[in-house]
């Protein structure tokens, strides 16, 4: 992914911020555009690769820590409220409550501790993701070629999971361009732990307005840059290993 592509995406997001800054749907506009960019480009970026193993019924990676930007979190919080309003009488129960319980169980845990505990994602119900249309970029950008390896890794076995480098690269490109545009506009542009950030957004309906006004209403859920970089480094290492194997086999 070139610097020119990054600058072009940053300009797109900056234009959206400038034209929508005063609107209450700023977060929705930015997150939706980020998701659309990813989905519109990922097929072309992965056309040369084997078929992914990811499918409904395989939630192995859903026990991993997920990070997201503020627009993604506020969009998802709104989506959760809508689901709870429509499905309050179903067996699913309150999705907001599931998020808060998951946050209590995992808050402050390291990546390794979370994997050991194997706390299920609050959005996985009967093997399917109930927030799939608005799932964060981190979820969209994590894709595997080996379902069995994923299951073994989550069971605690020391195995290499072959992940898709283009998925990681495109997620990083879109997310970094969005964050750069937010930062230039004086808006909080950090990455946040998803469950914790959602718990904050769901508890404080005014948090999104505060974010639009330049405050970091999700600050306590912020992920340290060094921690996020370590996670990306592991993913890139796995992806590079798979790319090298694919070239050797070719």
Beta partners for 219?
Answer: none
Distance CA 8, CA 60 (A): 35
- Pick 47 or 173 by higher pLDDT: 173
Distance CA 75, CA 171 (A): 18
Least confident of 34-48, 64-78, 94-108, 223-237: 223-237
pLDDT at 89 over 70: no
Least confident of 180-184, 193-197, 223-227: 223-227
Highest average pLDDT, of 74-78, 81-85, 101-105, 115-119, comes from: 74-78
pLDDT at 234 over 50: no
pLDDT at 197 over 50: yes
Q: What is the pLDDT of residue 174?
A: 96
pLDDT at 235 over 60: no
Q: What is the pLDDT of residue 151?
A: 72
| Strands 128-129 and 192-193, sheet pairing | unpaired
**Average pLDDT rounded to a whole number, residues 106-131:** 82
Beta partners for 125?
Answer: 128
pTM for the whole thing? 0.86
φ, ψ of residue 36 to 5 degrees: the values are -65, -40
CA-to-CA dists, residue 224 to 84, 209, 220, angstroms: 31, 24, 11
pLDDT tens per residue, range 2-30: 789 999 999 999 999 999 988 999 999 99
Q: What is the pLDDT of residue 101?
A: 92
Q: What is the pLDDT of residue 59?
A: 66
Question: Is-contact 80 131, C-beta < 8 A?
Answer: yes
pLDDT tens per residue, range 133-156: 999 999 898 877 777 776 777 766
Distance CA 187, CA 158 (A): 40
**Average pLDDT rounded to a whole number, residues 197-219:** 97
Q: What is the pLDDT of residue 147?
A: 73
Q: What is the pLDDT of residue 163?
A: 84
Distance CA 48, CA 166 (A): 10
């Amino acid at each position: 992914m070139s610097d020119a592509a990054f600058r072009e995406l940053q300009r797109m997001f900056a234009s959206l911020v400038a034209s929508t800054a005063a609107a209450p749907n700023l977060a929705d506009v930015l997150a939706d555009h980020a998701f659309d960019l990813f989905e519109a480009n990922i097929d072309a970026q992965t056309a040369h690769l084997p078929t992914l193993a990811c499918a409904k019924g395989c939630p192995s990676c859903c026990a991993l820590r997920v990070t997201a930007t503020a627009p993604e979190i506020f969009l998802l919080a709104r989506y959760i409220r809508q689901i709870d309003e429509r499905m309050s009488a179903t067996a699913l129960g309150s999705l907001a409550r599931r998020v808060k319980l998951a946050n209590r169980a995992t808050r402050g845990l390291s990546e390794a501790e979370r994997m050991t505990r194997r706390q299920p994602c609050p959005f996985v119900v009967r093997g399917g993701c109930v927030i799939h249309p608005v799932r964060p970029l981190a979820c969209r950008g994590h894709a595997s070629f080996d379902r069995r390896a994923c299951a073994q890794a989550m069971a605690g076995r020391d195995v290499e999971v072959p992940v898709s480098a283009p998925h990681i690269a495109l997620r990083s490109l879109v997310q970094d361009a969005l964050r750069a545009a937010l930062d230039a506009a004086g808006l909080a542009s950090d990455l946040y732990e998803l469950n914790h950030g959602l718990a904050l957004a769901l508890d404080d309906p005014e948090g999104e307005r505060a974010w639009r006004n330049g405050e970091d209403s999700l600050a306590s859920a912020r992920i340290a840059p060094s921690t996020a970089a370590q996670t990306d480094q592991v993913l890139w290492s796995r992806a590079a290993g798979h790319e090298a194997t694919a070239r050797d086999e070719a």
